[in-house]
Amino acid sequence: MSNAMYNKMWHQTQETLNSLLDKESQHMMESQSNQIFIFQMLATFYIKYVQIFRNLEDVYDQIVHPQKRILIRKILDGVMGRLLELKNEMVELELTEFHYFDDILQDLKLAPQQLDIPIPKYFLKEKLEVIKGREKILAQILADIGLDIPDKKYTAKSIPLEEAVKLIQIAERARQGRLRAMFMKQIFLQEYRAKQARILGEKVIDTGAAALRIQKVWRGFNQCQKTKKQREEEMIFLGMDPPPLFNEVSAAIIQAEKVSSLRNETQVKHEENYRKALVTIKNDLKLIEGPDIKENLQDQIRHWFIECR
């Protein structure tokens, strides 16, 4: 998706968040004693906050403007904090950590998968160096204990030329022996069949019966293939088996992953430029505006001394 699409998504999510905050403040002002009504209200707010969190997380992960990312990050942290507060309130209300939102999901026309809270991608991106450091420490500890499995490199031993020729000759003679044994077995089977045919007497071949037998075998095989295909189609229709090409990644998904990786690289570049610009702009202001500001302050001090004499 383009930058305009993510900006639009952010705008819509922000409007939803503002309206939800207004509704939440109105309901909090009203005192309720019905436990079921309170739980329904908290659960509705919780589900809506989850949807807002998912949208904001997608926007924060893909938008490239550094100042916007800083603002979205603050909103995202606030939404996550509010989610924890609502979860704590529901736990204290029902004294259980497992809640059922079936009726609310049905009213909001949402799927159960949309209630899952994904791990924010920036958690892993920002702590990548820490994770790598932990892996190095763990590898060092395992190496000190002796539990690591080093990569064994096997070196090839050189042998004399005469011994190598001898090994090749042995292998070639064994191959020729196997071929000769197979050839002799075929000759023996042919002679055995001919002998059995002479003993029993050769039967006259009936072409009609042979064609009928071939037709029976072919029709049976063809019907088995059709039945197997119909059974597979039925299982796919019932959702018991995955459709064909289910595990293959489509070209659209590959293109989306490429665009996402390019956006991440652009984010890193813009973040670096933004940090550098904060320093350079400050220094430029000191060099350009500094003398004027200093002169103005000196003039004000002189006027103050002159007026206060």
What is the pLDDT, as a whole number, of residue 307?
82
What local confidence, expressed as pLDDT, does residue 76 receive?
93
**Distance between start and end Cα atoms, the chain:** 69
Least confident range from 30-39, 167-176, 256-265: namely 30-39
- Of 17 and 252, more confident: 17
* Average pLDDT score over the chain: 86
CA 248 to chain centre: 14
Under 8 Å CB-to-CB from 172, ≥6 apart: which residues? none
**pLDDT greater than 90 at residue 38:** no
Residue-range domain boundaries for the chain: 3-118, 161-203, 206-248, 250-309
CA–CA dist 297, 293 (Å, integer)? 6
How far is Cα 35 from Cα 12, in angstroms, rounded to an integer? 32
Quick one: pLDDT at residue 228?
93
Identify the pLDDT of residue 196. Answer: 79
Evaluate if residue 227 carries a pLDDT over 90: yes
Tell whether the model's pLDDT for residue 289 goes beyond 90: no
Is the pTM here over 0.85, yes or no?
A: no
pLDDT, tens digit (0-9, with 9 covering 90-100), for 148-200? 655 555 566 788 888 889 999 999 999 999 999 999 999 999 898 888 777 76
Distance in angstroms (rounded) separating the CA atoms of residues 285 and 277: 12
Query: Angle, nearest 10°, between helix axes 35-62 and 3-29?
Result: 160
> Which pLDDT belongs to residue 202?
55
Q: What's the pLDDT at 4?
A: 86
Answer whether residue 203 shows pLDDT above 70: no
Residue 2 has pLDDT above 80, yes or no: no
What are the tokens at 211? 């064609």
Confidence bin at 12 (pLDDT 50/70/90): very high
> What's the pLDDT score for residue 99?
87
Residue 242 has pLDDT above 60, yes or no: yes
Per the model's pLDDT, the better-predicted residue between 144 and 148 turns out to be 144
Give the per-residue pLDDT at 195: 84
Taking alpha carbons only, the member of 113, 52, 55 closest to residue 81 is: 52
Asked if pLDDT for residue 240 goes beyond 90, the answer is no
Q: Is the pLDDT of residue 308 over 70?
A: yes
Residue-wise DSSP of 174-242: HHHHHHHHHHHHHHHHHHHHHHHHHHH-PPPP-HHHHHHHHHHHHHHHHHHHHHHHHHHHHHHHHTSSP
